[in-house]
Structure 1
Amino acid sequence: MAILDKFSQLAARYDALKQSGGDPFSIKFDDIISSVEGVVNGKRTLLFGTNNYLGLTFDPVAMERSIEAIRTHGTGTTGSRIANGSYREHERLERELADFYGRKHCMVFSTGYQANLAMISTLVGKDDHLIIDADSHASIYDASRLGHAPVVRFRHNNPDDLAKRLARLKDVPGEKLIVAEGIYSMLGDTAPLKEFVDVKREFGAYLMVDEAHSMGVLGQRGRGLAEREGVEDDVDFVVGTFSKSLASVGGFCVSSIEGFEILRLAARPYMFTASLPPAVISSTISALETLRKEPQRRQKLRANSRRFYDGLKNAGFTVGPEANPIVAVILNDAAVATAFWRRLVDEGMYLNLALPPATPNSSAFLRSSVSAAHTNEHIDFAIELMTRIGREFGILPDAEAVDYSNVTQFPRVSAERPGARAAKAPARRPAADVGAGMA
């Protein structure tokens, strides 16, 4: 048996997916024109699958600061902060994040994935207990494997089941850490955080909330679900990422727990990973400043999310439970979802295709992420395009005398990036064979 034979079933499914005419895991952009537009196969394409919630990837101030940081401090740190030391801007970013969240401490990591990996695997040891939502992100599951604590799963967003699991551990020695997410990345639903806090208090547990998809999105100041629900004082650790609302890469954890700083010497993913390069740190600080100074971006994001969610729901699609920036169209057939995704790309709209086993309840999703940079015309174009294809595929009922002529014209906006190349508008194509694809 060869070393890679263990992946033969995965390889077979992937081959079937590619043979269906679309490979959602190897999409290639010829160019990126703006926060919400790219070029795929020579065609201007509307981006609805980037998690670019505040539309800051082409923010001119952030770009200039990033460029200046390279000129001043070079391209990288070439080592971890434990081994190679911290740059002044690393510490500045940590102070800014701690101040933003009203916490005493902050640690910055090289990715959001690494932040979960480091914090969860380090906070709970072999004599403690980790209690996680069944629909937790892969980084949370991987952190549970890296650590040594026994792991207990509770039913997704179910406070009663969480309480039942903790009740079984009531007289068992060791600390208990509950991990939940602000906005879940597949369906876009939020955790019932107030109820979780009640359970946490009852059983004397600790609570960590991953605000990766809710930072910059929820709350009066954009601090996430805990702020919106008024329970920040009961959340012991907040983990987040820079790769969504802050438009860069990296992760963090903030807390007011006494003795927090020792985690820099205890968390192996922090100790043994090269620190973020100066250019990333500088652009992240700039994006955080914009998040704080421009609440109108968050307001526009919420309005866009509601417009897109309601439009798809009113068209007859089965969507997730809440109108957040992550909007999932839930389909029962992976082959239909794959063909639908391919048609959307062909006609000028990119979003994410989510397939089993990575999805809850083994469903197939067309997963969109809305941006504050989307215009009403962008959103209406996307709704109308998805509605037309949904009817062609038999997912939605036919409608009489519907004029789709406006769907064939890509909504024109000014390019954000100076010197952006022009590309052809997407041409309308005939219906695809929805029977093809991965079974």
Structure 2
Amino acid sequence: MTDLFSKFDPLINERAGLLSSGIRDPFAIVMEEVKSPTVAVIDGKDTILLGTYNYMGMTFDPDVIAAGKDALTRFGAGTTGSRVLNGTYQGHRECEDALKDFYGMDHAMVFSTGYQANLGMVSTLAGKGDFVILDADSHASIYDGCYLGNADIVRFKHNSAEDLEKRLRRLPPEAGKLVILEGVYSMLGDIAPLKELVAIAKAHNCMVLVDEAHGMGFFGENGRGVYEAAGVADDVDFVVGTFSKSVGTVGGFCVSNHPKFEILRLVCRPYTFTASLPPAVVACAATSIRKLMHAGDKRARLWDMTRKLHGGLKARGFRLATETPESAIVSVLMPDQETTVRMWAAMIGLGVYVNMSRPPATPVGVFLLRCSLCAEHSADQLEIVLDRFDEAATMTGLFAQAAE
């Protein structure tokens, strides 16, 4: 009998080699207690959280927690059903209403995760005979949406308006075309040149979907995302996002002004054939979204913390993925996987949690320690983080290695 796990043997052996050297598993961290948006107990000690995507710090907001508790008491622990059957409660509609108000759009559809939002929208919008045109560095959920659907897939070079134009010129003008972009790319923390890309897409009669998972909350006048900051709101057909970043809970969504949008509830399989979010989750999300409408001070603080961390790391000689801070993601480039793992382990040992990222999540050959800032981080915490990066670099010989 063929072992269906054999195809994973290279990864199994690689992981076993790392663990046998005494380095702990970077993908098996347990938060034993979470004290705030920026501090958790890991291995029995307080640890600064610098890799949670909790951008606006809403996970411990008192109003959000109170809304969740009330919904849990009034509506129970779960819905046990799909949105098109028994799984639409009052809270789901209130959450969609909050999204419509936040984005200033006519329609909103809530999915059980952000992954499912992309999976559902991409696979449903573009079918046989259509084309999906996407950035080569697109998130896994976008690629999986392409694979679930029957459309032809066309990739263009990351953030290249020139390559997008070239690819679109080759496609049949009469074919249906969906261009998919991301406001913020989560690995390197760079933002898309949406003004140029959206203009090219519209010139070729494409519909445009922008994923604002990492842009919601702090880009644009209303915190709607990079597309708002770029001034292309009128030319974007669909905005997809998640509740698991700035909103501070779990779930996904799509908003749109398209007049036929509501039919998606009946034809979008990842929406139709899965259980809906628990009442407490959508109550937390709705409350958080409405508070984010008035979070200008938090946005300003988040940008201030981001500039401090980016500038501090750069001044200490670390190589960063972006020359200037483009988003609340600050990615530190590492020379190879072994160094990345040792740096990560040193950081966690020093009481700072960051994300370790490697291919295939990152582009080929790119290894990162990825930091994500929170509006609740303090200046004192960032000074500690910078000192810990210095200590970890010394412990692992990072700079000495780079000088060779």
TM over 0.5: yes
Offset at residue 293 of structure 1 (A):
2.0
2:255 corresponds to which residue? 254
Please identify, of 315-324 and 370-379, the stretch whose mean Cα deviation from structure 2 is larger. Answer: 315-324
2:387 corresponds to which residue? 384
State whether structure 2 residue 52 is matched by structure 1 residue 50: yes
2:36 corresponds to which residue? 34
Offset at residue 67 of structure 1 (A):
0.7
Offset at residue 170 of structure 1 (A):
3.9
List aligned pairs for 1:231-270, cutoff 5 A. 231-270=232-271
Pick closer, same or farther for the CA change 1:397–1:16 going to 2, 3 Å: closer
Is the CA contact (8 Å cut-off) linking 1:45 and 1:349 kept in structure 2?
A: yes
Offset at residue 393 of structure 1 (A):
3.0
1:274 corresponds to which residue? 275
Offset at residue 303 of structure 1 (A):
0.5
Offset at residue 212 of structure 1 (A):
0.1
Please identify, of 383-392 and 194-203, the stretch whose mean Cα deviation from structure 2 is larger. Answer: 383-392
Is the CA contact (8 Å cut-off) linking 1:170 and 1:203 kept in structure 2?
A: no
> What's the secondary structure of 1:33's corresponding residue?
strand
State whether structure 2 residue 372 is matched by structure 1 residue 369: yes
Partner Cα separation in structure 1 for residue 19 and residue 84 of structure 2: 44
CA deviation profile, 1:169-193 (whole Å, cap 9, x unmatched): 044x421101010110100000010
CA deviation profile, 1:106-152 (whole Å, cap 9, x unmatched): 10000000000000000000111000110000000111100000000
Pick closer, same or farther for the CA change 1:384–1:289 going to 2, 3 Å: same
Partner Cα separation in structure 2 for residue 357 and residue 77 of structure 1: 35
State whether structure 2 residue 102 is matched by structure 1 residue 82: no
Partner Cα separation in structure 2 for residue 16 and residue 180 of structure 1: 38
Offset at residue 29 of structure 1 (A):
1.7
CA deviation profile, 1:76-97 (whole Å, cap 9, x unmatched): 0001011214111111111110
Is the CA contact (8 Å cut-off) linking 2:187 and 2:361 kept in structure 1?
A: no
Partner Cα separation in structure 1 for residue 6 and residue 198 of structure 2: 45
Amino acid at match of 1:211: E
Partner Cα separation in structure 1 for residue 74 and residue 11 of structure 2: 46
> What's the secondary structure of 1:372's corresponding residue?
coil
Q: How many residues align?
A: 397
Is the CA contact (8 Å cut-off) linking 1:136 and 1:180 kept in structure 2?
A: yes
> What's the secondary structure of 1:81's corresponding residue?
coil
> What's the secondary structure of 1:83's corresponding residue?
coil
Offset at residue 3 of structure 1 (A):
1.9
List aligned pairs for 1:5-404, cutoff 5 A. 5-20=6-21, 21-171=23-173, 173-321=174-322, 322-323=324-325, 324-396=327-399
Offset at residue 295 of structure 1 (A):
1.3
Is the CA contact (8 Å cut-off) linking 1:132 and 1:180 kept in structure 2?
A: yes
Is the CA contact (8 Å cut-off) linking 1:77 and 1:274 kept in structure 2?
A: yes
Partner Cα separation in structure 2 for residue 214 and residue 157 of structure 1: 16
Structure 2: unaligned runs, 5 residues or longer: none
Offset at residue 16 of structure 1 (A):
2.0
> What's the secondary structure of 1:84's corresponding residue?
coil
CA deviation profile, 1:5-54 (whole Å, cap 9, x unmatched): 12111211221232231211101122111110011111110000110001
Offset at residue 396 of structure 1 (A):
3.0
- What is the RMSD of the two structures over their aligned residues, measured on CA atoms? 1.3
CA deviation profile, 1:367-395 (whole Å, cap 9, x unmatched): 01100010001111111210232244333
Is the CA contact (8 Å cut-off) linking 2:49 and 2:354 kept in structure 1?
A: yes
Partner Cα separation in structure 1 for residue 14 and residue 379 of structure 2: 38
Offset at residue 364 of structure 1 (A):
0.9
> What's the secondary structure of 1:309's corresponding residue?
helix
Amino acid at match of 2:273: F
Partner Cα separation in structure 2 for residue 80 and residue 57 of structure 1: 26
Amino acid at match of 1:327: V
Is the CA contact (8 Å cut-off) linking 1:48 and 1:349 kept in structure 2?
A: yes
Is the CA contact (8 Å cut-off) linking 1:197 and 1:234 kept in structure 2?
A: yes
Is the CA contact (8 Å cut-off) linking 1:22 and 1:339 kept in structure 2?
A: no
Is the CA contact (8 Å cut-off) linking 1:387 and 1:396 kept in structure 2?
A: no
Partner Cα separation in structure 2 for residue 218 and residue 16 of structure 1: 42
Partner Cα separation in structure 1 for residue 165 and residue 172 of structure 2: 10
TM-score, normalising length from structure 2? 0.96
Is the CA contact (8 Å cut-off) linking 2:342 and 2:396 kept in structure 1?
A: no
CA deviation profile, 1:181-239 (whole Å, cap 9, x unmatched): 01101000000100101211221111110000000021111100011111111111000
Partner Cα separation in structure 1 for residue 245 and residue 372 of structure 2: 10
Amino acid at match of 1:349: V
Partner Cα separation in structure 1 for residue 319 and residue 162 of structure 2: 27
Offset at residue 168 of structure 1 (A):
0.3
Identical aligned residues as a percent = 46
